[in-house]
Chains A and B, each alone.
Chain A
Amino acid sequence: MTDAATGFSHRFRATELDARAALCEIIGTLQARGLVQEQIGAVEIALAEVINNIVEHAYAGTAPGDIVVDVAFREAILKLTTTDGGKPLPDGRLPEGRPADVTGAVDDLPEGGFGWFMIRTLARDISYARENDRNRLELTFDVVPAVDRH
């Protein structure tokens, strides 16, 4: 059963500064709920990349709309669901997220393209759907020990 008391939701405008504030608030709440630091780090990295992608790509060339992040705990799983009203992902599906090639000369090193690889590596599961003209992305993470539930 989903423990409604421990879930929470956050809605904010898709700008870099609002994204930073929202991420800090969500991560702060997870810390307050007793998630261990290593897991917090993984969640923060992955969620930051998801949100940055929405800000930079989904809403590219349009006025920044909203982003909603729903956080839910279920047994030893943390589920983050983001929705936004921006453009769909290219080809309507999750990018492959191959690792960036860092073996070349310094001048050829990538300065981007790390995001989806990190998201895919850090999350246990990831799924994407386009529903009612909104993008819906679900990320799950294993969390151990169980989050303190009050």
Chain B
Amino acid sequence: MNRSEPAKASLRLESDRAVFSGRWTARHIGRVGHQIEHTAWPAGKLTFELSEVERMDTAGAWLLHRLQRQLTSKGMSVELEGVTPEMQGLLKLVSESGVMASDLPRPERTGALQNLGQTSLRSLQSAMGLIAFVGEAWLAGIRLMLHPGRIRWAEIAHSLGEAGHKALPIVGLLAFLLGIVITYQGGVQLRQYGASIFVADLVGLSMLRELAPIMTAIIVAGRTGSAYTAQIGTMQVTEEVDALRSIGIQPMELLVLPKLLALMIALPLLTLYADVMGVLGGMVMAKVQLDISYATFIDRLQVALTVKSYLVGIGKAPVFAAMIAIIGCYQGFKVSGSAASVGRHTTISVVHAILAVIVVDALFSVAFSYLDI
């Protein structure tokens, strides 16, 4: 439609006649709506002249009717002229089903104190729910161990592939780059003291004990924990979870335990892989920047690292994995109703999982130093 713009709705006042013209349709009455509010209406009798109106829809009819209502309630009398049968129909419709905004039902307003209370209560309930969920998972796990025939190996293998195998490229790349960065930053300092060779200690210890486990866990929380929440959450919205229950399949057994188990296997393996890639990155950088040969680097590494430092790092991984899987699945089951809810709980899942990983890692550090490990 490249023709001239259709005439917008307009209104002009000629002593005691209000002349309506143009298109009184939803898209063309925006401006006239504001105009009506700022018009000084004469008192007494008023005539609405409608014969110049080109077209009218419900929105336009409502605006007209509302004005008529407002003026009448102020004790004026309003007469309509030039009303077509179509307009008559619309005016009848809006007068029957129109409600003034001030009379519309409103959601109950809650005070700040009530909000605070409700939010605290919800957080508490959520925490209690999580604990109950962990308990349920334990019980289901024990039941499964008593009936090993019911273990769903295919599900576990599938989850293992999704969470483990497909995460190799990203985990490997990040660990390698992290190794390079640490070596570069540390190497600059160590060289000043002529202690370049200790860069192997730096990279080896920091990667194995702290960085590889925690970084891998964070990647997996973002990658796999979120996927668990989104999958279970969407199944919850489409009633698939209820369907499983109705067929006699425990959602815990099919949806949670295989994921939990798979992640507890995958994360330590991924951490080991990150260890190797991180040290490799350090080795390459040591050669390039500090001119330490690969053989020298590896020799030093054997002195610096013990089996203990390796185990300290890798031992944390299953704990991280369990937390990520449990939080991810729990948030998935808490989804209700809509697509927006899936998004909200996926966000919560990732934030909580990363937070839990970091806090627990700090607790591990404190415990290890206390136990002198």
- Check if A and B associate: no
Interface residues of A (CB under 8 A from B): none
